[in-house]
C-alpha cells in the first residue's frame, strides 16, 4: 500500500516543511524515485534545469508531469523529439493571418514551450540544429524571439531525458552544459517495490491541498530570500580542493573535457546550493548542500566513480594533509637527526604566501598587531586583492585566539563563528608581505627555524618540546575537523539527499576517523616513550 501523504489545513510554517510535504505528495505510488522528484523540485525553485539518463519506462516523464501540478495555475509542455521534429511543434506554428495581413513572421505560442512553466523534452539529443539553437537562448536567458517581438518565458525548469548521452563532435556541448543537474533513472531494483508497482498498488493520487500550491508570490519570495544565503568556510575549502582534483583528472584524461566544469556551471551550482540551504531552513551553505553537486559535475557515465571520489576527498582534504604532516613529524622524531647549523635565510621582499608560517594549518600570524596574537585566515588571504574589502575580527573562545576573516557578500555579519565574541568589522586588503588592516600594513610571520609550522622547523627543539608542539598541532587539526566537517553530518537533515548519498559520506568519515585514531595511537606511544 502506498504511503499516505500527511496534509495540513494551514499553510506550512516554513519553506522546509512546505517542500517536504510536496515531495511526499509527488512521490505517491512511485517507487525508488523519491530523490529524483526531490531534486527536480529543487531545480524548479532554483530556476535550473535537469537531465535524466535512463531507459524507456523508468518514470522520467512522470517527474515532470507531477512537478507541473505543484505550481498554482502552472502550465506544462512535453514532447518526444525525433530527427524529424520541427520548430513549429515545439515553439508553436506560424500565424498565417499575421503573415498575410501584417507581413509579420510570428508564432502562435499558446500551449507550446514559450508559455510553459514546466517543460519536458524526451530524447532531446535527436532535435535538429534549429530547435537546439533556439533552446540555448530560451534556457540560458529565458527569452524567446518571436519574430520582431521578445518574449520573456515563464519557464521554471526544463527536464530533458534520453537513454543516451549527447554524441561527441556534433555541436551538442553547449546544450549539454545548460543542464546543471544530471541524474540516472534506473528500473526498480527492490523486489517488494517492483511487485507493488506491477500490481498497481496505490497508484491513485490524493488531491493536492490548496495550502501546498506554490504560487507566483511564494516562488518569488523563495528565490529572492535564497540569494542572501552565505557559505561556510568548510564548503569554500572543499570547493578549492575539488577544483584542483577535477583539473588534475582532466589533465590525466588528456584534456578530453570529460571533467571540465565551466565558470557558468560553478555559478549555477552555487545558486543550487543556496536554494538547498534555504529550503532546508539554514542561512549558510553547508557540506550537505555541497554534496548535491555530485549530480552536476560528471560528463560521462564512466567518469562518475572518479567524480564521487574527488568529492569525498575534497571534504577530507585538509585534515588528511594535516594527519600526513603529523605522521611525518612523528617519524622524524623517531629518527636520529644529525646536528646541522641552521642559518636564517635573508628576508625576501615579496608576498608569496608559501613563505608564511602556518599555524594550525588554517592561519597566518599577524606580526605586531596591537591587540595581541592575531591570526589571519589562510584561505581568505588567498582570495584577497589590492582592493579593500570587508572583514571581521573576533575572539574565538574555543581556540583562544583573535582571528580575522574576510566577509562573504550576503552573509550575516555575526554568523562567522559560533564561538565568537567582541566582533568588529575591519577593512582588509593584500599588500607586500602581509595585509593592510584598517589602513595599517602588517607583515605575516615567515617560516623560520623557530616557527612550529612544519616538521622541519621542529628539529632544533628538545624532544619533549617537539612532542608537545606535535600534540598541539594534532589537537588543532582534530578540532577543526570536528567543528567544520563532522558537525555538518551529526544529526544532519537535507531533504534533497538520498540514503546512498549519506552512505557515501559516512564511508569517507569512517576512513578519516580511523586515520585520525591511528595517528593518535602513534602520538600517544611517543608520549609514553619519552616519559
Domains in the chain: how many in total?
3
**Residue 156 pLDDT > 90:** yes
Please report whether residue 237 resides in a domain. Answer: no
Average pLDDT over residues 151-157: 93
C-alpha cell at 489: 553530518
pLDDT at 270: 96
Q: Quick: pLDDT tens for 398-443.
A: 777 899 988 866 555 544 455 677 888 999 998 878 888 988 888 8
Of 409, 444, 479, the position where a domain reaches its end is 444
C-alpha cell at 108: 502562435
CA 434 to chain centre: 30
Same domain, 167 and 49: yes
**Residue 46 pLDDT > 90:** yes
Please report whether residue 356 resides in a domain. Answer: no
Alpha helices in 374-448 (DSSP H): 378-382
pLDDT at 349: 33
Closest alpha carbon to 383 in 426, 453, 425, 435: 435
- CB under 8 Å, gap of 24 or more: what pairs does 13-20 form? 14/281, 15/222, 15/278, 15/279, 15/281, 16/279, 16/280, 16/281, 16/495, 18/212, 19/45, 19/279, 19/495, 20/495
**Residue 119 pLDDT > 70:** yes
pLDDT at 494: 92
Same domain, 331 and 465: yes
Q: Quick: pLDDT tens for 275-307.
A: 999 999 999 999 999 999 999 998 888 899 999
Average pLDDT over residues 29-52: 91
Same domain, 435 and 487: no
Burial class (CB within 10 angstroms; exposed 0-12, middle 13-18, buried 19+) of 251:
exposed
Of 400, 420, 444, the position where a domain reaches its end is 444
Please report whether residue 473 resides in a domain. Answer: yes
Same domain, 79 and 174: yes
Q: Quick: pLDDT tens for 336-371.
A: 554 433 333 333 334 456 678 888 767 899 988 888
Q: For residues 47 and 158, give the distance between their C-alpha atoms in angstroms, rounded to a whole number.
A: 9
pTM greater than 0.85: no
Alpha helices in 369-492 (DSSP H): 378-382, 463-481, 487-489
3-state class (DSSP) for residue 85: coil
Same domain, 498 and 461: yes
**Residue 458 pLDDT > 60:** no
Sequence-distant (6+) residues with CB within 8 A of 456 are none
Closest alpha carbon to 41 in 10, 78, 16: 16
Please report whether residue 301 resides in a domain. Answer: no
C-alpha cell at 283: 542561512
Average pLDDT over residues 309-322: 90
pLDDT at 353: 62
Q: For residues 506 and 290, give the distance between their C-alpha atoms in angstroms, rounded to a whole number.
A: 15
pLDDT at 8: 44
Q: Quick: pLDDT tens for 159-189.
A: 999 999 998 877 788 899 999 999 988 777 6
Higher pLDDT, 92 or 354: 92
The C-alpha cell 517536504 sits at: 20
Of 444, 476, 497, the position where a domain reaches its end is 444
pLDDT cut 90: percent of the chain above it: 38
Closest alpha carbon to 32 in 70, 62, 71: 62
pLDDT at 361: 66
**Residue 238 pLDDT > 60:** yes
Range of lowest pLDDT (81-90, 220-229, 443-452): 443-452
Which of 254-258, 293-297, 523-527 has the highest mean predicted lDDT (pLDDT)? 293-297
The C-alpha cell 499558446 sits at: 110
Same domain, 97 and 209: yes
Q: Which run of H or E residues covers position 327?
A: helix 304-333
Same domain, 472 and 419: no
pLDDT at 347: 34
- Domain hosting 81: range is 15-226
Please report whether residue 475 resides in a domain. Answer: yes
Q: For residues 464 and 325, give the distance between their C-alpha atoms in angstroms, rounded to a whole number.
A: 18
Q: What are phi and psi of 298, to 5 degrees?
A: -110, 145
Sorting pLDDT into bands at 50, 70 and 90, what band is 495? very high
**Residue 471 pLDDT > 50:** yes
Average pLDDT, the chain: 83
- 23, 41 in Cβ contact below 8 A? yes
Q: For residues 129 and 110, give the distance between their C-alpha atoms in angstroms, rounded to a whole number.
A: 23
pLDDT at 219: 94
> Kindly report the CA angle at 217 between 134 and 208, in degrees rounded to 5?
90
Range of lowest pLDDT (178-192, 252-266, 269-283): 178-192
DSSP 218-250: HHHHHHHHHTT-EE-HHHHHHHHHHHHHHHHHH
pLDDT at 526: 82
Please report whether residue 355 resides in a domain. Answer: no
pLDDT at 408: 67
Q: Are strands 363-366 and 284-285 parallel, antiparallel or unpaired?
A: unpaired
C-alpha cell at 304: 562518475
Sequence-distant (6+) residues with CB within 8 A of 526 are 330, 333, 334, 467, 470
Same domain, 368 and 495: no
Range of lowest pLDDT (216-220, 270-274, 403-407): 403-407
Please report whether residue 262 resides in a domain. Answer: no
| CATH number of the domain residue 50 falls in | 3.40.50.300
Same domain, 401 and 474: no
Please report whether residue 292 resides in a domain. Answer: no
**Residue 53 pLDDT > 50:** yes
Same domain, 174 and 113: yes
Q: For residues 445 and 44, give the distance between their C-alpha atoms in angstroms, rounded to a whole number.
A: 49
Same domain, 63 and 145: yes
Same domain, 371 and 463: no
**Residue 7 pLDDT > 50:** no
pLDDT at 432: 77
In the 8-state DSSP scheme, what is residue 36?
Answer: H
Amino acid at each position: 500500500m502506498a504511503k499516505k501523504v500527511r496534509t495540513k489545513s494551514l499553510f506550512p510554517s516554513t519553506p522546509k516543511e512546505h517542500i517536504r510535504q510536496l515531495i511526499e505528495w509527488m512521490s505517491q505510488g512511485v517507487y525508488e524515485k523519491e530523490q529524483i522528484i526531490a531534486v527536480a523540485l529543487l531545480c524548479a525553485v532554483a530556476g535550473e534545469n535537469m537531465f535524466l539518463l535512463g531507459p524507456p519506462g523508468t518514470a522520467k516523464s512522470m517527474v515532470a508531469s507531477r512537478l507541473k501540478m505543484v505550481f498554482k495555475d502552472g502550465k506544462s509542455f512535453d514532447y518526444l523529439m525525433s530527427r524529424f521534429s520541427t520548430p513549429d511543434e515545439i515553439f508553436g506554428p506560424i500565424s498565417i493571418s499575421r503573415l498575410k495581413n501584417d507581413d509579420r513572421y510570428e508564432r502562435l505560442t499558446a500551449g507550446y514551450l514559450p508559455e510553459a512553466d514546466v517543460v519536458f523534452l524526451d530524447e532531446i539529443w535527436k532535435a535538429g540544429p534549429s530547435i537546439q539553437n533556439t533552446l540555448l537562448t530560451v534556457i540560458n536567458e529565458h527569452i524567446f524571439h518571436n519574430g520582431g517581438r521578445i518574449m520573456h518565458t515563464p519557464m521554471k525548469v526544463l527536464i530533458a531525458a534520453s537513454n543516451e548521452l549527447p554524441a561527441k563532435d556534433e555541436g551538442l556541448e553547449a546544450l549539454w552544459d545548460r543542464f546543471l543537474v544530471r541524474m540516472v533513472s534506473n528500473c526498480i531494483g527492490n523486489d517488494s517495490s517492483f511487485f507493488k508497482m506491477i500490481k498497481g498498488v496505490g497508484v491513485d493520487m490524493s488531491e493536492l491541498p490548496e495550502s501546498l500550491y506554490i504560487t507566483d508570490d511564494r516562488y518569488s519570495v523563495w528565490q529572492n530570500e535564497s540569494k542572501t544565503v552565505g557559505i561556510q568556510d568548510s564548503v569554500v575549502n572543499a570547493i578549492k580542493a575539488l577544483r584542483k582534483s577535477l583539473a588534475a583528472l582532466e589533465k590525466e584524461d588528456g584534456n578530453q573535457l570529460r571533467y571540465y566544469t565551466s565558470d557558468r556551471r560553478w555559478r549555477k551550482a552555487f545558486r543550487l546550493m543556496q536554494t538547498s540551504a534555504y529550503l532546508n531552513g539554514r542561512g549558510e551553505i553547508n557540506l550537505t548542500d555541497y554534496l548535491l553537486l555530485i549530480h552536476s559535475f560528471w560528463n560521462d557515465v564512466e567518469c562518475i566513480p572518479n567524480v564521487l571520489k574527488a568529492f569525498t576527498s575534497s571534504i577530507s582534504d585538509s585534515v588528511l594533509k594535516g594527519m600526513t604532516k603529523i605522521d611525518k613529524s612523528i617519524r622524524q622524531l623517531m629518527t636520529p637527526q644529525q646536528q646541522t647549523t641552521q642559518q636564517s635565510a635573508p628576508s625576501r621582499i615579496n608576498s608569496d604566501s608559501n613563505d608564511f608560517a602556518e599555524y594550525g594549518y588554517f592561519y597566518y600570524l599577524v606580526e605586531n598587531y596591537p591587540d595581541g596574537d592575531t591570526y589571519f585566515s589562510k584561505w581568505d588571504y588567498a582570495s584577497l586583492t589590492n582592493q579593500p574589502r570587508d572583514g571581521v575580527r573576533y575572539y574565538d573562545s574555543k581556540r583562544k585566539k583573535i582571528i580575522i576573516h574576510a566577509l562573504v557578500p550576503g552573509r550575516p555579519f555575526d554568523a562567522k563563528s559560533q564561538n565568537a565574541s567582541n566582533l568588529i568589522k575591519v577593512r582588509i586588503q593584500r599588500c607586500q608581505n602581509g595585509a593592510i588592516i584598517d589602513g595599517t600594513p602588517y607583515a605575516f610571520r615567515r617560516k623560520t627555524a623557530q616557527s612550529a609550522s612544519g616538521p622541519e622547523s621542529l628539529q632544533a627543539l628538545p624532544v619533549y618540546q617537539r612532542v608537545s608542539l606535535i600534540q598541539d598541532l594534532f589537537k588543532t587539526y582534530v578540532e577543526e575537523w570536528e567543528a567544520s566537517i563532522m558537525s555538518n553530518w551529526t544529526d544532519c537533515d537535507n531533504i534533497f539527499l538520498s540514503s546512498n548519498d549519506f552512505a557515501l559520506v559516512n564511508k569517507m568519515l569512517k576512513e578519516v576517523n580511523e586515520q585520525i585514531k591511528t595517528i593518535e595511537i602513534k602520538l600517544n606511544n611517543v608520549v609514553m616513550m619519552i616519559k
